Structure 1
């Protein structure tokens, strides 16, 4: 069971509550009062709490672990005797006071559902930790393999406000001559010492000088840059070892796990664990010559060789690179953490960012494009009847989005470039809310460790085992099977 404050929070997390927040409607504007002067929300709450089905609805919400956006299922399940076909038990959602049953949404984003994102974060921690110290089917000997923690960054597309620290002291943001200005007449520097919560952090010093098309195009190709980097690392390792890539692959394998993190300037950078294994993956030790030094030597040249070309457009084409900032740090066993990053610290760091989205850069956590035409404004050869050709969700306006001005300009750039036929393959409009990034936030190579799906199945099997134990106690030792016929109705915390 959940307490009343948790119930209030759950109602605020519903679709309706989020839609009101997205549209910019204030809380004061929602306080319509009834004839007795009571706020409308209080009247609605009293109606819900006094409903005969409230206690059952509340218990279903508790069973989801406090999910803010549960999926509504309707249908029936049956437990049947495996020998005689006798129906031992039948459950129908039609018999519920609500007419449905709730299942947790499983969303990874903390901005959408904190309860489900906490589970996702814990699973990611276990996945990363298993690839560093063993467990979940990975032998403990993997902790003796060469591995590093690497951070790859985006290049600069213009000066932005930043917070710099040295020796525990905050330094000047952008020290320049005070009389120096850009071509648009704005100061070329900033002599402020920004606080951590300063809203100017990540915002350009001059929006007109900032290369928004370049930033959006880089963002759209970040996944391709990462893929090219992993290929170049393998190629460089083979070159340093004095053999072909095929010959190297027969003796050693590169495994990795990475997560994307949004910076305040709206661009992603990647944090990755890179590990050297034998040809069979984590279960095999790499050759003695494939050591930590070899791995570190290969990463720098591999990053510098990575180049990705954009499609040719009216902007011409661009050659995209990684940023100059590169951080390579050794990963050591937990008991020797003083010599470098510990396994636990790395797993915690990656798991932390696995549940975050682009909202850290001042944008929204939901799609802006029309669900029918996917942002193009047309259905086949006709104007989309849902969005009337705008490509936006009905009733949505880019000027009214609750985002920073920098994020708004990046979204507008995505929308403009996404309307060009030559850039259609980048799908910039459907991914405008992510500021152009369309890759996966968290990925790993096949042999790194276990999978999130396997971890979820362990939980499902555990709960199913508990249910079987309960059934065995109530039905004796008869064989039985379970038939399901449940379908999704909608999602969100609705009482009707």
Structure 2
């Protein structure tokens, strides 16, 4: 029996190039390239089949009808829309642009948000997880570089001590290495057995509840401050006709979650102070004059230092786990005199992290199931394998525990997703190391929504296509698969999309340069 032939990487590249040349040599290549343009740069576009009808804008009659069998490749391509850069760089680029607009409009106004919000007090807070054990880290005591993104400053020793002590498992508790920024040891525990992996995944799982209570504490702190300073509460009539007296201000936030190298999530939060209009509670108005950005900064520190969450009882820990913020709570002001943080920088910073997930930790997988969990989880493995094992073990259905505490063999993922158990989410989000929240969230009144941005873009493109013909395109489509039909097709479509992106980038720079020249001349 002969062994199957496997192509080397050069062989695979040659086959891909041959497929691309074959596609480019076909007479209908130009039509195919235009047909795939909406999903040009997508790594795994969605393929749809069905009918596409042209309906008269004025009459409502079907003027033309076409089946996807008549189109190139007998299918319609649509971009996947995945936000993760590691999965689809082009769709993540679009998502990042939307995230930038969502964050920036909450700081400067625009797209339905009044420009007056730019004068509201705003702080940028970073809330981190506490320590679950000693890890390798990189610390620069004094920066002399011009840009932190290209920092080449000499770091301090990782964990220097005067005595070379060892832990109870015999592992050294010191590290004199000066780690580079790309050192794979960063974020890894000095001793895997001393590290509390269970507590860390529980913290990731309940960090959203910790943030919710923290924001409530910030608002209560400011409301109490209004009472002490004699700032009157606002009389508001609800939709049901009830009269309520509410604090004269509210805190609107935009929040991005970032996964640290040690695989603990932390939050970057923009907190903006808004006032309350008694005649229109949904309006964005400035806060009362008696509350300043100093008070907002103080409220964040006060709430982060005292708010904790005690998780429900678990068979492995009847008293639950304590979930609290770490000691490193950084609160900075935006657009302050001499400050480094500006509206654009903060918006770009948060939008960048909105397209990432667990890539910084070195782990990247889809949702885990009983059939795939053994490929990633290992109670005696490395740091990530132990975290995933902790998620799977703690998230087991406790009512099926045997005397030894193990789950029965017929444990099913779909059952876990529907059972109302406080720790069930740890299994569902084991591929995210326990964190099941959204990576970009905001308060309802903070800014424009993703839905509005996407609908506006779709309406613009539809009007651009339909206005010339006076028709509206209506599709009745069904999903048939994902991905390009060949590696050659993917190469051509992605190359064309990259060229279009570069062309748009150069165009924007030219427009910005012309605007700067006009302003300088004036």
Query: Could you tell me how far apart the structure 2 residues matched to 1:84 and 1:195 are?
Result: 67
Residue 371 of structure 2 aligns with which residue?
A: 392
Identify the residue that residue 258 of structure 2 maps to in structure 1. 261
- Provide the residue aligned with 2:310 in structure 1: 309
Task: After superposition, give the CA deviation of every residue in 1:442-479 in whole Å (9 maximum; x if it has no partner).
Answer: 0000000110111111111111111122214xxxxxxx
Which residue of 2 is the match for residue 295 of structure 1? 296
Distance 1:266 1:146, change over 3 A: same
2:65 equivalent in structure 1: 90
Residue 487 (structure 1) aligned with residue 488 (structure 2) = no
Cα distance, 1:341–1:44 mapped onto 2, change above 3 Å: closer
- Asked if the contact 1:80–1:86 (Cα under 8 Å) also holds between the matched residues in 2, the reply is yes
TM-score, normalised via structure 1 length: 0.80
Structure 1 runs not aligned, ≥5 long: 1-28, 370-390, 473-479
Secondary structure in structure 2 of the residue aligned to 1:159: coil
- Cα deviation, 1:135-193, whole Å, max 9, x if unaligned, reads 11112111111110000000000000000101233101011234211111111111110
Query: Does residue 107 of structure 1 match 2:82?
Result: yes
Counterpart in 2 of 1:376? none
> What is the alpha-carbon distance in structure 2 between the residues aligned to residue 234 and residue 438 of structure 1?
25
SS in 2 for 1:301: helix
Q: Aligned with 1:164: secondary structure?
A: coil
Choose the corresponding residue for 1:187, options 138, 159, 172: 172
CA contact (8 A) 2:128 2:326 kept: yes
Aligned to 1:209: 194
Matched, 1:322 2:325: yes
Which position in structure 1 is the counterpart of 2:430?
432
Partner of 2:18: 46
SS at match of 1:363: coil
Shift of 1:55: 5.7
Identify if the C-alpha distance between structure 1 residues 399 and 238 changes in structure 2 by more than 3 Å, giving closer, same or farther. closer
Cα deviation 1:182-238 (Å, max 9, x = unaligned): 111111111110011100000000000000000011111011111111111111111
Q: Cα distance, 1:62 vs. partner?
A: 3.5
When residues 481 and 201 of structure 1 are mapped into structure 2, their CA distance, relative to the original with a 3 A threshold, is: closer
Correspondent of 2:157 among 166, 169, 172: 172
Q: Separation in 2 of the partners of 1:180 and 1:393?
A: 39
Q: 1:466 to 1:201 in 2, by over 3 A?
A: same
Deviation at residue 481 of structure 1 after TM alignment? 4.4
Maintained 8 Å contact 1:80/1:482? yes
- CA deviation string 1:385-436 (max 9, x = no partner): xxxxxx1349x62269xxx921111111111112242766432122111000
* Structure 2 unmatched ranges of 5 or more: 144-153, 235-244, 400-420, 490-522
Give the conservation status (yes or no) of the 8 Å contact 1:149–1:272.
Answer: yes
Counterpart position of 2:404: none
Q: CA 1:82/1:62 → structure 2, altered by over 3 Å: closer, same or farther?
A: closer
Structure 1 residue 125: Cα displacement = 0.9
Cα 1:42–1:133, aligned 2, differ >3 Å: closer, same or farther? same
1:345 matched to 2:345? The reply is: yes
Cross-structure match for 2:516: none
2:125 to 150, 162, 177: 150
- After TM superposition, give the deviation of residue 45 of structure 1 in Å: 5.2
CA RMSD across the alignment: 2.7
Q: TM-score, normalised by structure 2?
A: 0.77
* Structure 2 CA distance for aligned equivalents of residues 326 and 450 of structure 1: 28
Please tell me whether residue 63 in structure 1 is matched to residue 38 in structure 2. yes
Q: Check if 1:224 corresponds to 2:224.
A: no
1:274 aligns with 2:271: yes
Residues 257 and 364 of structure 1: CA distance in aligned 2, closer, same or farther (over 3 Å): same
Shift of residue 48, structure 1, vs aligned partner: 6.2
SS across alignment from 1:338: coil
What's 1:72 paired with? Answer: 47
Count of residue pairs brought into register by the alignment: 430
- Please point out which of 387, 395, 399 is paired with 1:418: 395
Deviations 1:51-106 (A, max 9, x none): 55766554444332411111111111111336666532222211124221111111
Q: Deviations over 1:230-281 (max 9, x none)?
A: 1111111112222799868341111000000010000110000001001146
Cα distance in 2 between the residues matched to 1:245 and 1:56: 67
Rounded Cα–Cα distance in structure 1 between residues aligned with 2:377 and 2:232: 51
- 1:469 paired with 2:467, answer yes
Q: What is the CA–CA distance in structure 2 between the aligned matches of 1:156 and 1:425, rounded to whole Å?
A: 21
Q: Which residue of 2 aligns with 1:132?
A: 107
Alpha-carbon distance between aligned partners in 1 of 2:83 and 2:63, rounded to the nearest angstrom: 37
Is the Cα–Cα contact under 8 Å of residues 202 and 265 in structure 1 kept in the other structure? Answer: yes
Distance 2:232 2:45 in 1: 48
Q: Are the equivalent residues in 2 in contact too, given 1:121–1:351 (CA < 8 A)?
A: yes
Residue of structure 2 aligned with 1:448, choices 423, 440, 446:
446
Q: Following the alignment from structure 2 to structure 1, what is the Cα–Cα distance between the partners of residues 423 and 31?
A: 48
Q: 1:83 to 1:321 in 2, by over 3 A?
A: closer
State how far apart, in whole Å, the 1-side matches of 2:157 and 2:163 are: 13
